[in-house]
Structure 1
Amino acid sequence: MGLRDAWVDLLLGGSCAGCARPGVTLCLGCRAELAALTPFPAAPTPVPPGFPPATACAPYEGVLRRLLLEHKEHARYALAEPLGRTLATAVAAAISPGRAAWLCPIPSARATVRARGHEPLRRIAIVAARHLSENGYDVRLAAALKLLRRPADQAGLSAQERIANVEGVFGVRSRWAETLTTQPVLLVDDVLTTGSTLSQAAGALETTGIAVLGSAVLAATRRHATPGS
């Protein structure tokens, strides 16, 4: 957490985003819980066609779920740092040691970004890429995907409805199409639910000749493979 965030917490009387205890934005206990997470393979049931193999940091519950919601919906910007470092562990587990990769985050609709005042996943992905680079990984960020239309809110939709909702929703930005054609790309997202979003994103990239290694997510809902399952 930066000095500015610490000063705001001190001045306004902040609380931990993970456990709500009075104090700093993220207490030592919740930081330790994030640091102890072990990435694992996660897959939706059923697996949609074209789903890129996913690595998740944890099930979508507990401290991680609360941090994601606080960062996304309540613009607690300081959480991008610990969330980005957490995502970096999933990325590191998803790529072979010593292998280079471009990280391609799933984009948000412009209206959603305006409403929230920021683009949460992009902020997290920037931190993840920086942290990995500082630790010897040849990883860079590629904002290669764009939305061709704004999908409806996925909340409450069935698996089949989610697939239909995001079908054909992604395109590839022209300036990235040639750059990434011979480069390995890893998709990144915050939460894995039915896998429809990642499948459509991978399909859009692959139709332009871009190889998708897989995907890395912060959390996966309990309908997915979890540690020890």
Structure 2
Amino acid sequence: MRDWWRDLTDLVLPAECGGCGRPRTVLCARCRAALGGTGPCRVRPAPEPAGLPPVHAAARYADEVRATLLAHKERGALALSGPLGEALSGAVRAGLATVRAPGAGGGSVLLVPVPSARRAVRARGHDPVRRIAYAAAGELRRAGVPAHVLPALRQRRDVADQSELDARQRLANLAGALTVAPGCGRLLSAGRVVLVDDLMTTGASLAEAARAVRARSWADSPVRGAGSSISGPASVYGGETRERRGEQRNGPAQQWAGRRSGRPPVTAGADSADGVVDGMCAAVVAASPDAFEISRN
């Protein structure tokens, strides 16, 4: 009922721009241009968490873009899901160009939203990332891309609010927090998986989502991962954290759990010689400005 009432209010009452507050417009032309940026770009946080798939973002998280995302997420400006979904769809298309499709046909594109904390969804009255994902899927289908939303991920334990946590603390906070819902494991192998979120800062949420999807794919594969659209199996952060310069073993203890336990190592989707990346990818509406600055396209 709450979502229905908000949707109706957005349609009936005069709106203001989610980015700058200009009256009688959901998002003005200037703020739409900021949201579109200069086109989707490959982004990398520093330090880059192990297992993070290739991530593309539509815009920098600043100024009008930041205000737009907060208006949609925290103030319930639901009409903004349209332009935000359009921006996300561009980042998805850019990401798909970096992954090999499974088999000859390619299959459908599965947008897998990173789930919000249950208490946050209750407080907001909606799941902003899922709403944007559905808008993006619609944009992609209109462009001829067979995209569907698969809300496959669930939180299996509560996590702390991450707003005051640094990169290392966020990794520890989220380690093992996500799982794939029953019945979704096989569906994930039926198409190209794109993890989607509204914002990437440290990359911890996307890395944990990738770990959960890879672990489910590995468990469900008849030959333990062969033939899956996901690039290899994964343990809990079973790799190294890549810094801006070189690779250093400076991640949390969880990163080395996979090697100690003898479980299969993580495959982070490393670039191949021809510039194509195997496995899943990720797409976000916005990323921190620093993530754009260290992009190595």
Q: Judge same fold: TM > 0.5, yes or no.
A: yes
Check if 1:39 corresponds to 2:40.
yes
The aligned residue for residue 106 of structure 1 is 114
Pairs within 5 Å for 1:14-25: 14-25=15-26
**Closer/same/farther in 2, CA of residues 227 and 199 from structure 1, 3 Å limit:** closer
1:164 aligned partner: 172
The Cα of 1:179 is off from its aligned counterpart by 1.8
Aligned partner of 1:143 in structure 2 is 151
* Aligned match of 1:8: 13
Distance 2:294 2:211 in 1: 28
Question: 8 Å contact 2:37–2:58 — kept in the other structure?
Answer: no
- How far off its partner does 1:227 sit? 8.6
SS in 1 for 2:66: helix
Aligned residues of 1:84 and 1:126 also touching (Cα < 8 A): yes
Amino acid at match of 1:7: V
Which amino acid is 1:52 matched to? P
CA 1:113/1:224 → structure 2, altered by over 3 Å: closer, same or farther? same
Cα shift at 1:37: 3.9
The aligned residue for residue 179 of structure 1 is 187
> Amino acid of the residue matched to residue 149 of structure 1?
R
More moved, 98-107 vs 145-154: 98-107
Query: Which whole-Å deviations, capped at 9, do the CAs of 1:147-202 have from their partners, x for residues lacking one?
Result: 01121111111111000000000000111112223532110011111111111110
Change (3 A) 1:218 1:226: farther
Counterpart residue identity of residue 13, structure 2: V
Match of 1:74 in 2: 75
Structure-2 residue corresponding to 1:83: 84
Aligned partner (choices 197, 214, 218) of residue 281 of structure 2 = 214
Give the distance between the partners of 1:29 and 1:104, measured in 2 at CA. Answer: 30
CA contact (8 A) 1:41 1:55 kept: yes
Once the two structures are TM-superposed, the CA of residue 22 in structure 1 deviates from its matched residue by 2.4
| Percent of aligned pairs with the same amino acid | 40
What SS is found at the alignment partner of 1:207?
A: helix
State whether residues 146 and 171 of structure 1, in contact with CA within 8 Å, keep that contact through their aligned partners in structure 2: yes
1:95 corresponds to: 96
Please state how far the C-alpha of 1:36 moved relative to its aligned partner: 4.9
Any idea what SS the aligned residue of 2:184 has? helix
- 1:132 and 2:137 aligned: no
- Tell me the number of residue pairs that the alignment of Structure 1 and Structure 2 aligns: 224
**Which residue of structure 2 aligns with residue 50 of structure 1?**
51
* Superposition CA RMSD, Å: 2.2
**96-105 or 150-159, which moves further after superposition?**
96-105
Q: Deviations over 1:21-45 (max 9, x none)?
A: 2222222332344345410000111
Q: What SS does structure 1 have at the residue aligned with 2:187?
A: coil
Tell me which amino acid in the other structure corresponds to 2:144.
G
Offset of 1:59 from its aligned partner?
Answer: 1.1
| Paired residue type of 2:48 | V
Question: Does residue 208 of structure 2 align to residue 200 of structure 1?
Answer: yes
**What letter is aligned with 1:34?**
L
- CA gap of 1:38–1:203, structure 2 versus 1, over 3 A, is same
8 Å Cα contact 1:43/1:224 also seen in 2: yes
Counterpart of 2:292, as a letter, is A
Name the CA distance, whole Å, in 2 between partners of 1:32 and 1:201: 30
d(CA) in 2 for partners of 1:86, 1:226:
20
TM-score by length of 1: 0.90
Relative distance call for 1:65 and 1:115 in structure 2 (3 A) is: same
Aligned-partner residue type, residue 148 of structure 1: R
Query: What is the Cα deviation at residue 213 of structure 1?
Result: 1.4
Q: Is residue 40–residue 227 contact of structure 1 (8 Å, CA) maintained in 2?
A: no
- Using a 3 Å threshold, how does the CA distance of structure 1 residues 136 and 119 change in structure 2: closer, same or farther? same
Q: Say which SS state the counterpart of residue 225 (structure 1) adopts.
A: helix
Q: Runs of 5+ in structure 1 lacking a partner?
A: none
Whole-Å separation in 1 of the counterparts to 2:294 and 2:143: 26
**1:124-147 per-position Cα deviation (integer Å, ceiling 9, x unaligned):** 000000110111001111111100
